[in-house]
Chains A and B, each alone.
Chain A
Amino acid sequence: MRMVRITVDPLTRIEGHMRVSAEVDANGIITSAQSGGTLFRGFERMLQGKDPRDASLHISRICGVCPISQSITSTNALEELYQVSDRVPQNALAVRNFIQASNFMASHATHIYVLFGPDLANPRYRDVLTGSTLRLGATGDALWKELLGRFAPISYRMNGQDIPAGTSYLGAITEKKRLHEAITLFAGRMPHPASIAPGGVTCTPDLGEITKAAALYLKVMEFVQNYTLGVPLNTWIENTAQARSPQAAVKFVTDHLASIVDRSTGNNFSRENGWKDVELFAAFGSELVGEKILGLPASLKLDKLGGYSDPSKICFLSYGAFYDSTKDGYNPSSPAGERFMTSGVVRASNMRYENLDASKITESVARAFYEDEAPKHPYEGTTVPIADADKINFEAPQTEKYTWLKAPRYDGNAAEVGPLARMLVAQDPLITGLAQAFAENGMSPANVYTRMLARMHEVAVIAHKITDFLDDIDPAKRFAEPLDMRAGRNSRGAGLWEAPRGALGHWITTNRSGKIQNFQAVVPSTWNLGPRDENGIPCPVEQALVGNAVSGCDNIGGADFTNPVAIFHVGRSYDPCMACAVHTIDATGKNAPRDYELL
């Protein structure tokens, strides 16, 4: 049987430079996939020999989408390194929590609406919904009109016609900007915050700034309630995140959707009729929820894309995020239950929670453009980029080196990280309940639909919590604890935190002069989008593409290799951030950095 090789390069509408290539059989089903990162900048090498305190400001430059997370993660590592974690003032923890929460909401809004959303307006869905194969008539026409009207991106053209940008798309850009203004009140600017430093924060917000942040938040919530979510935020949280059981949470959502379906005679899928973006996506995004439970005539079948066929090869990982900001100090190892979003691991084979053990993290470079080394824990990791430029070959087979991304593993397993992983680790009733429902119907609990719904749900969970962080700031109290620089000699620290797109870890060691000896970042997109490891186990996205109908929607009307929407959806569902994902270190001692005298 003839195989076709489809390559998407660049996979646009992500952060950075990424490619995906897939082998597709004659029926249009993906049989294997490779994921590649195509830019190398070498951030970790930049910090060797530098003043450790530079890490927070410098490392935020890894990524302009999640700089807050990069800064806080570095700072967590440095606070362990300088032995000050237990004395960081409550105020600093609360400020960090607030700007991190705002960054989560802004980043998720950008992903949902600006990066992922436009794929819902792909001409593939015009053909499925309004074409002659399914004959959906006015229902299909009305649904397509909603998708295009809400999610079309700027400069969009279809059949030579200019399409106006979608209403939700445009609104989300405004709200993202507003959230960045709220961050800037405490961080001086966004992206690349100026105020996160080891020992605390550098800002001293007064009541005016705190109140203004609250006002900006309330304005953002107007958009959330007018465009995104069709029930009051409190009602949603009480019945989903705080539901008494997973089944109750799922029932609340499906009952809510069913009530909207009931009043949608005449194919009225408008926002005014209750079909906010979450409702539209939750109902029409899934075959199981939309067609089987709600009885809708069609869906986008996103639950049949991006699943895992072999649960023994995958787990879900979270390092935990958002300090307990009701008191001074925190535990840098992020023990279970200490943070608002807990750390932990859930293995797909049994879907049970277990405690995080950071010593089980290793990285493999067997398939990455670095000189070979056995997989090592980040503290011990050594990596040297391949010297021969001819060996930089993204077309190389899966048994050779084919990307700049390394392959992190947890206890030897590939791990998905991000909102879905955080929700499963936290045993959130709604997302856990949905995962169970898919498993009971013989489908993968993780798929494009649950991945995106978890991201939307997480916005609600954080929006519900964020004002508590503001309340925890007391302008009369201190915001920073001084560092004892002597504690930073021959020391080390690990920063374990969460970026919007998943688990983010920095491991820093210092030499006898108190300068950085070694710096290593293991970032979300390396977990999700790295290559195979030395045992040939593919990373999450490489696993999740296998078995997909390449044109989505069961290849209804025939597979179209020139518009492989499955690859777009699955790749983007992980919210790739390739700038974060590519990095290297070298602790071999060759080219040792010059050692500054301690000032």
Chain B
Amino acid sequence: MASEKLNMIEQFKNLDILKVDRRTFLKAVAALGATSFVSLYGNQLAAAMSEITETKVLWLHGAECTGCTISALNASSPDFVDALSRLNVSLAFHETLLAPQGIFVDGELVGNSELNVEILLDELVKAGGYILVVEGAIGNGPDGTGKINMIGTHTFKDIYSKAAKNADAIIALGTCATYGGVTVTDSATKRYCDFMGVNQTEQRRGGMNAHLGIRDKPVINLPGCPAHPDWLFLTMAAVILGRIDLNDLSGVLDREGRLKVFYPPTHTIHDNCPRRGFYDRGVLDVRFAEGGCLWKVGCKAPYAHGDCALRKKNSGTSVCMQAGGPCIACVEPIYPNGVMPYYVETESAGILFGINIGTVAALTIGAAVVAAGVHAVRRVNKEK
């Protein structure tokens, strides 16, 4: 596997990145990772950029923890600022990073867009022609008012609605924005808050866009808690370079609206796990900090589609399982309700993505789930 990847990298090093087709481009991006991708192609990208106009990015924060912003700031080679400048991206709006704030005097907006964020956002949305990045879920509660999340004098739901309608495309960043994530954890206040993802809430298609009647808007889902910075910046690169056609995303997205290149439908995190060898040898830990396979302490990697184990986190430093932490499938729409309790072996919990394991074989949730279902089926058969 590793040598295969090395061969691929060698092959891509000699590509003229601006002339390859989309599939090859995405393969190159996937094989190289952000670390070497822009460093290898930086000059070509810069040359391409000189002919392409600036891309505006509006980044909105809904019901979130700022973890995806913190993660984006952890991007490396190129780092966050380099990525923006090399891709000729203007980060036109970002509440956590930009200078201005909302300012009202006796209830009236004052000043200009350099100091007042409310005026800035209004001007940007009216002008249109931007990619909208959404971090965090969008609140509909209580009672459909959206008042669960207010910013300035508006509900976030209204702010999102206006910004989404005028966007060229939407990138839903992180599991809260894509599927609701932790904000839709089963609880007594879940219905009260009524949080939604952009295009999907848990496994239900539609999300806030359907609720607002926003249709035919290109949406790319980049789940993860938090999302990997490579996923964001390489997606931006592909969109900006025209390697992803926003008007025809059907070929590049999976059933859950994710870019297949980062969330491969054909294999799971388990397939590339640094501890995979222990699984194959049957070294299955039942306690923490033993160094073996984490399946029996609750690892959900066999159910999760992501390139986490190859790409690794934080500049390729490590990944959850490498540090002994069972995968919690945070890139999946069923996270977190389908994967809690986190530390209990999935079969023992009697659930599989929130579904009784007895019925799993009849479901077509995705190739890997069927593969993972082998465990479940084995278990069911044993119980019979």
Instruction: Provide the residues of chain B in CB contact with A110, threshold 8 Å.
Output: 70, 73
Contact B152–A563 (Cβ < 8 Å) = no
Contact with A along B61-101 (1 / 0, CB 8 A): 11111111111011110011100100000111011111111
Contact with B along A404-425 (1 / 0, CB 8 A): 0000000000000000000000
Instruction: Provide the residues of chain B in CB contact with A479, threshold 8 Å.
Output: 288-289
Contact B74–A16 (Cβ < 8 Å) = no
CA distance A478 to B142 in the complex (A): 49
Contact B66–A202 (Cβ < 8 Å) = no
User: A563 with B115: in contact, given A6-B105, A13-B97, A58-B336 (CB under 8 Å)?
Assistant: yes
- For window 97-121 of B, CB contacts with A under 8 Å fall at 97-107, 110-111, 114-117
Contact B324–A61 (Cβ < 8 Å) = no
Q: Is B203 an interface residue (CB 8 A)?
A: no
**Extra pairs beyond A10-B101, A191-B226 (11, CB < 8 Å):** A8-B102, A8-B104, A12-B100, A12-B102, A15-B65, A19-B102, A51-B343, A158-B114, A189-B314, A193-B323, A563-B111
Contact A12–B101 (Cβ < 8 Å) = yes
Name the one of A188, A478, A562 contacting B115, with C-beta atoms under 8 angstroms.
Answer: A562
Q: Is B321 an interface residue (CB 8 A)?
A: yes
User: A173 with B340: in contact, given A5-B105, A188-B321 (CB under 8 Å)?
Assistant: no
User: A181 with B314: in contact, given A9-B104, A57-B342 (CB under 8 Å)?
Assistant: yes
CA distance A177 to B344 in the complex (A): 32
Q: Is B46 an interface residue (CB 8 A)?
A: no
Q: Is A441 an interface residue (CB 8 A)?
A: no
Contact A568–B101 (Cβ < 8 Å) = yes
A40's nearest neighbour on chain B, judged by CB, is B148
Contact B325–A194 (Cβ < 8 Å) = yes
A392's nearest neighbour on chain B, judged by CB, is B147
B297's nearest neighbour on chain A, judged by CB, is A202
Name the one of A5, A10, A14, A114 contacting B152, with C-beta atoms under 8 angstroms.
Answer: A10
Contact with B along A184-208 (1 / 0, CB 8 A): 1111111111110101111110000
Contact A54–B321 (Cβ < 8 Å) = no
Contact B147–A389 (Cβ < 8 Å) = yes
Name the one of B70, B97, B322 contacting A153, with C-beta atoms under 8 angstroms.
Answer: B97
Contact B149–A593 (Cβ < 8 Å) = no
Contact A188–B65 (Cβ < 8 Å) = no
User: A192 with B314: in contact, given A4-B106, A9-B151 (CB under 8 Å)?
Assistant: no
Contact B74–A190 (Cβ < 8 Å) = yes
Closest beta carbon of chain B to A426's beta carbon, Å = 28
Contact A39–B95 (Cβ < 8 Å) = no
A70's nearest neighbour on chain B, judged by CB, is B65
Contact A201–B107 (Cβ < 8 Å) = no
Q: Is B341 an interface residue (CB 8 A)?
A: yes
Contact B342–A191 (Cβ < 8 Å) = no
Instruction: Provide the residues of chain B in CB contact with A1, threshold 8 Å.
Output: none
Contact B328–A57 (Cβ < 8 Å) = yes
Contact A189–B320 (Cβ < 8 Å) = yes
Q: Is A48 an interface residue (CB 8 A)?
A: yes
Contact with A along B319-353 (1 / 0, CB 8 A): 11111111010000000100011111000110000
Q: Is A180 an interface residue (CB 8 A)?
A: yes
Closest beta carbon of chain B to A389's beta carbon, Å = 4
User: What are 28 A-B contacts defined by CB distance under 8 Å?
Assistant: A5-B105, A9-B152, A10-B95, A12-B101, A13-B97, A13-B98, A39-B62, A39-B63, A39-B149, A39-B150, A39-B156, A41-B193, A42-B189, A48-B187, A53-B342, A54-B343, A65-B65, A122-B99, A155-B98, A185-B318, A187-B325, A189-B323, A191-B65, A202-B323, A387-B142, A389-B147, A392-B147, A586-B188
User: A64 with B107: in contact, given A187-B323, A188-B325, A387-B142 (CB under 8 Å)?
Assistant: no
Name the one of B147, B187, B320, B341 contacting A194, with C-beta atoms under 8 angstroms.
Answer: B320
Q: Is B315 an interface residue (CB 8 A)?
A: yes
CA distance A40 to B63 in the complex (A): 8
Instruction: Provide the residues of chain A in CB contact with B76, threshold 8 Å.
Output: 177
CA distance A142 to B57 in the complex (A): 34
User: A5 with B106: in contact, given A17-B151, A62-B65, A155-B92 (CB under 8 Å)?
Assistant: yes
Q: Is A301 an interface residue (CB 8 A)?
A: no
Instruction: Provide the residues of chain B in CB contact with A118, threshold 8 Å.
Output: 99
Name the one of A12, A61, A202, A584 contacting B96, with C-beta atoms under 8 angstroms.
Answer: A12
User: A599 with B101: in contact, given A191-B67, A480-B288 (CB under 8 Å)?
Assistant: no
Which A residues are within 8 Å of any B CB, using their own CB?
Answer: 4-17, 19, 38-43, 45-48, 50-51, 53-54, 57-58, 61-65, 67, 92, 110, 114-115, 118, 121-123, 153-159, 165, 170, 173-174, 176-177, 180-181, 183-195, 197, 199-204, 385, 387, 389, 392, 394, 478-480, 482, 561-564, 568, 579, 584, 586, 590-591, 593, 599
Instruction: Provide the residues of chain A in CB contact with B115, threshold 8 Å.
Output: 123, 562-563
Closest beta carbon of chain B to A195's beta carbon, Å = 4
Contact B344–A51 (Cβ < 8 Å) = yes
- For window 274-332 of B, CB contacts with A under 8 Å fall at 287-291, 313-315, 317-326, 328
Instruction: Provide the residues of chain B in CB contact with A189, threshold 8 Å.
Output: 313-314, 318-320, 323
Q: Is B145 an interface residue (CB 8 A)?
A: yes
User: A197 with B343: in contact, given A5-B107, A8-B103, A389-B143 (CB under 8 Å)?
Assistant: yes
CA distance A46 to B342 in the complex (A): 14
Contact A64–B99 (Cβ < 8 Å) = no
Contact B98–A154 (Cβ < 8 Å) = yes
Instruction: Provide the residues of chain A in CB contact with B117, threshold 8 Å.
Output: 10, 12
CA distance A63 to B65 in the complex (A): 5
Name the one of A8, A187, A192 contacting B225, with C-beta atoms under 8 angstroms.
Answer: A192
Instruction: Provide the residues of chain A in CB contact with B71, threshold 8 Å.
Output: 64, 191
Q: Is B123 an interface residue (CB 8 A)?
A: no
User: A48 with B324: in contact, given A8-B101, A17-B151, A154-B81 (CB under 8 Å)?
Assistant: no
Instruction: Provide the residues of chain A in CB contact with B287, threshold 8 Å.
Output: 480, 482
Q: Is B186 an interface residue (CB 8 A)?
A: yes
CA distance A194 to B329 in the complex (A): 12
Contact B63–A41 (Cβ < 8 Å) = yes
Instruction: Provide the residues of chain B in CB contact with A387, threshold 8 Å.
Output: 142
CA distance A191 to B107 in the complex (A): 37
Q: Is B272 an interface residue (CB 8 A)?
A: no
Contact B66–A188 (Cβ < 8 Å) = no
User: A42 with B193: in contact, given A16-B66, A389-B142, A562-B105 (CB under 8 Å)?
Assistant: yes
The 3 closest A-B pairs by CB, nearest first: A64-B67, A194-B325, A202-B324
CA distance A203 to B323 in the complex (A): 4
Give the one of A4, A12, A180, A586 with max B CB within 10 A.
A12
User: A46 with B182: in contact, given A173-B80, A203-B289 (CB under 8 Å)?
Assistant: yes
Instruction: Provide the residues of chain B in CB contact with A154, threshold 8 Å.
Output: 81, 84, 91, 97-98
Closest beta carbon of chain A to B355's beta carbon, Å = 16
B142's nearest neighbour on chain A, judged by CB, is A389
Closest beta carbon of chain B to A127's beta carbon, Å = 13
B341's nearest neighbour on chain A, judged by CB, is A51
Instruction: Provide the residues of chain B in CB contact with A8, threshold 8 Å.
Output: 101-104
Closest beta carbon of chain A to B223's beta carbon, Å = 13
Instruction: Provide the residues of chain A in CB contact with B166, threshold 8 Å.
Output: none
Contact A40–B323 (Cβ < 8 Å) = no
Closest beta carbon of chain A to B321's beta carbon, Å = 7
Closest beta carbon of chain A to B135's beta carbon, Å = 10
Give the one of A64, A114, A183, A586 with max B CB within 10 A.
A64
Name the one of A4, A6, A181, A197 contacting B315, with C-beta atoms under 8 angstroms.
Answer: A181
Contact A11–B101 (Cβ < 8 Å) = yes
CA distance A62 to B61 in the complex (A): 15
Closest beta carbon of chain B to A243's beta carbon, Å = 35
A2's nearest neighbour on chain B, judged by CB, is B106
CA distance A173 to B78 in the complex (A): 13
Name the one of A9, A392, A478 contacting B102, with C-beta atoms under 8 angstroms.
Answer: A9
Instruction: Provide the residues of chain B in CB contact with A40, threshold 8 Å.
Output: 148-149, 193
Q: Is B161 an interface residue (CB 8 A)?
A: no
- For window 171-189 of B, CB contacts with A under 8 Å fall at 181-183, 185-189
Contact A188–B103 (Cβ < 8 Å) = no
CA distance A48 to B74 in the complex (A): 33
CA distance A186 to B188 in the complex (A): 35
